[in-house]
Amino acid sequence: MQLSLNIELSNNQSLQKQIFESIRQQILSGQLKANASLPSTRLLSEQLNVSRNTIVLAYDRLIAEDYICSRKTIGTFVNPKLPESSLTIFKTDNNNLVKKNAINSDQIVFKGRVQALNNPNRSKLDIDFWVGRPDPESFPINIWRQLTINKLRSSGANMTEYHNPAGILELRKAIADHLRPARGIDVSHEQVIIVNGSQGAINIASRLLIDKGTQVVTECPCYQGAVYVFENHGACIHPVNVDQNGLKISDLPHTPTSLAYVTPSHQYPMGATLSLSRRIRLLDWAREVGAYILEDDYDSDFRHNGSPLTALAGQDPHGCVIYMGTFSKSIGAGLRIGYMVVPPELIETTKAIKTLMDNGNAWLDQAVLADFINTGAYTKHLRRIRRVYISRRDALIEALHKHFGDVSLSGLEGGMHIIWHLAEHLPIASKLKKIAEDVGIGIYTLESGAAYDFGNRANNRRMIMLGYSSISEDKIHEGIKRIANALKV
């Protein structure tokens, strides 16, 4: 191994003392762990270009003061039993170091909040109704492994070269071909930009269209991760309420608006589908006020009742919709691949932003996904997990009715979660969440389920989010039963 040592020939201290102090500080700070192997005196002298005798003398002093120890024929190692006096010195020095080198908080320009990505208490849960998580057992591991091996065999220079930051051509074409029949969007592959999940698309759209004071319309309640990004870019956010038919178009502002963020296919978190008449009115409104619409189609692959809906982008006669999709819900969030479909006039600017952000996604993941789509495996995968998720949704509805009677539910038509509207005789949502956690069950308020309701206490007090896609039918029944039994105690 090599050591990163701060050695200066012009320093008044001798080289031996500098080497001693540098290694000592790395040991005390934890950079060099107990039993860590140190380079031989010959290798370290070559690395630092100093006399080997200088290294030997520095090591001898470290050994004498019990910082390191030598094991014959094996090597030199950090002493696993540092002297107590050294630990005391470290604590004092470290505290002083933190105070001396602490960055003034005024220098940090980022102002933002962290969204809820998962339950921090997940390890303590027996059954977790977390929202938007695919079933781990549904991941197509066998075909994914084979496609990966095939791509590696023929990768050539692809693993060592930079690629188009907008995404490799094969994947962009595959997505465009998939969207035409699946979502009714007539799109060229040139309009498709590969991103790091839907959050990447939200960040790019914000850099495209939001400046300090820019008016942005969102649904209320809506996805937490979007609101926090818009806030961070300085947007003036105008929330518009939703009802059983989606966004209330009559409440839209008639003032200049740069962006409207919507989830029309399966409103997040309430689950409503935006009606056709409202979709047409929303598109007309966008043209009138000069707004782009950011359509988040996060889980539209899972339509449980009726035929798949045409995306808002597929109904857009004005070219004002920026469409975004993700494979996080249909395949897995670990893949970190999503995509945007942008109007032609935004293609080059969007590519420029993507280049500045990350220079593009990993080639191998994109190439494997392109083959997964092009071979028809993705369509088969979707058909299979749709059947599984419908069965689990039905099991959840059945369990809630069995243990809680005539419950009020919304968001049943599609997606991966439902909303449980709590009856007045039940505890408020935050209290019920705690009761459930105490018996090993994870359920979620709007806030803890990555939704944002702009201070609407009524929503947060009486609504519970229940994801069902990653839990077996037996566990769904067991989880709801435990909650019911806990309320009877």
HEC string of 33-100 equals CCCCEECCHHHHHHHHCCCHHHHHHHHHHHHHCCCEEEECCCEEEECCCCCHHHHHHHHHHHHHHHHH
Buried b (16+ CB within 10 A) or exposed e, 388-424: bbbebbebbbebbeebbeebebbbebbbbbbbbebee
**Across all residues in the chain, what is the average pLDDT?**
91
How far is Cα 174 from Cα 128, in angstroms, rounded to an integer?
34
Q: What is the pLDDT of residue 153?
A: 95
Note whether 126 and 119 are within 8 A (CB). Answer: no
- Of these ranges, 88-102, 113-127, 269-283, the one predicted with the greatest mean pLDDT is 269-283
* The pLDDT of residue 67 is above 70: yes
- Of 100-104, 306-310, 416-420, 484-488, the range with the lowest mean pLDDT is 100-104
Q: Which of 234, 238, 206, 207 is nearest to 222 (CA)?
A: 238
More confident residue, 122 or 355: 355
* The pLDDT of residue 88 is above 50: no
**Cα three-residue angle 18-22-26, rounded to 5 degrees:** 170
Q: What is the pLDDT of residue 111?
A: 78
* Residues with Cβ within 8 Å of residue 473, at least 6 apart in sequence: 391, 392, 395
Q: What is the mean pLDDT of residues 304-331?
A: 91
How far is Cα 405 from Cα 419, in angstroms, rounded to an integer?
16
Percentage of the chain exceeding pLDDT 70: 94
Q: What is the pLDDT of residue 57?
A: 93
Q: What is the mean pLDDT of residues 443-452?
A: 94
* The pLDDT of residue 247 is above 90: yes
Percentage of the chain exceeding pLDDT 90: 74
Per-residue confidence band for 144, with pLDDT thresholds at 50, 70 and 90: very high
More confident residue, 118 or 304: 304
152 dihedral zone (left: phi>0; alpha: psi -120 to 50; beta): alpha
Per-residue confidence band for 89, with pLDDT thresholds at 50, 70 and 90: very low
Q: What is the mean pLDDT of residues 124-150?
A: 95
How far is Cα 133 from Cα 331, in angstroms, rounded to an integer?
10
What domains appear along the chain, each with residue ranges and CATH number?
Answer: 15-101 (1.10.10.10), 122-136+380-488 (3.90.1150.10), 159-375 (3.40.640.10)
* The pLDDT of residue 1 is above 70: no
Q: What is the pLDDT of residue 102?
A: 57
Which pair of tokens denotes residue 427? 């505890």
Q: Are strands 292-296 and 222-223 parallel, antiparallel or unpaired?
A: unpaired
DSSP letter for each residue of 355-420: HHHHS---HHHHHHHHHHHHTTHHHHHHHHHHHHHHHHHHHHHHHHHHHHSS-EEE--SBSSEEEE
281-311 pLDDT per residue, tens = 999 999 999 999 999 999 888 888 777 679 9
Per-residue confidence band for 72, with pLDDT thresholds at 50, 70 and 90: confident
- Which residues pair with residue 220 across a beta bridge? 241
Per-residue confidence band for 104, with pLDDT thresholds at 50, 70 and 90: low
Q: What is the mean pLDDT of residues 82-101?
A: 50
More confident residue, 250 or 9: 250
- The pTM of this model reads 0.81
* The pLDDT of residue 77 is above 80: yes
Note whether 232 and 212 are within 8 A (CB). Answer: no
Beta strands in 265-313 (DSSP E): 292-296
Q: What is the pLDDT of residue 97?
A: 44
Beta strands in 244-366 (DSSP E): 246-247, 259-262, 292-296, 321-326, 338-341
Instruction: Please name the helix (run of DSSP H) or strand (run of DSSP E) that holds residue 180, with its range, or none.
Output: helix 169-183
381-440 pLDDT per residue, tens = 999 999 999 999 999 999 999 999 999 999 999 999 999 999 999 999 999 999 999 999
How far is Cα 350 from Cα 230, in angstroms, rounded to an integer?
17
More confident residue, 269 or 71: 269
Dihedral angle of Cα 125, 126, 128, 129, to the nearest 10 degrees: -130
Q: What is the mean pLDDT of residues 161-183?
A: 96
Q: What is the pLDDT of residue 101?
A: 53
* The pLDDT of residue 87 is above 60: no
- Of 9-18, 81-90, 349-358, the range with the lowest mean pLDDT is 81-90
How far is Cα 421 from Cα 411, in angstroms, rounded to an integer?
11
Q: What is the pLDDT of residue 105?
A: 62
Q: What is the mean pLDDT of residues 203-207?
A: 97
Q: Which of 145, 102, 170 is nearest to 373 (CA)?
A: 170
Q: What is the pLDDT of residue 324?
A: 97
How far is Cα 411 from Cα 425, in angstroms, rounded to an integer?
22
* The pLDDT of residue 92 is above 60: no
* The pLDDT of residue 34 is above 60: yes
Q: What is the pLDDT of residue 86?
A: 52
Q: What is the pLDDT of residue 460?
A: 77
Phi first, then psi: what are they for 118, rounded to 5°? -165, 180
HEC string of 221-243 equals CEEHHHHHHHHHCCCEEEEEEEE
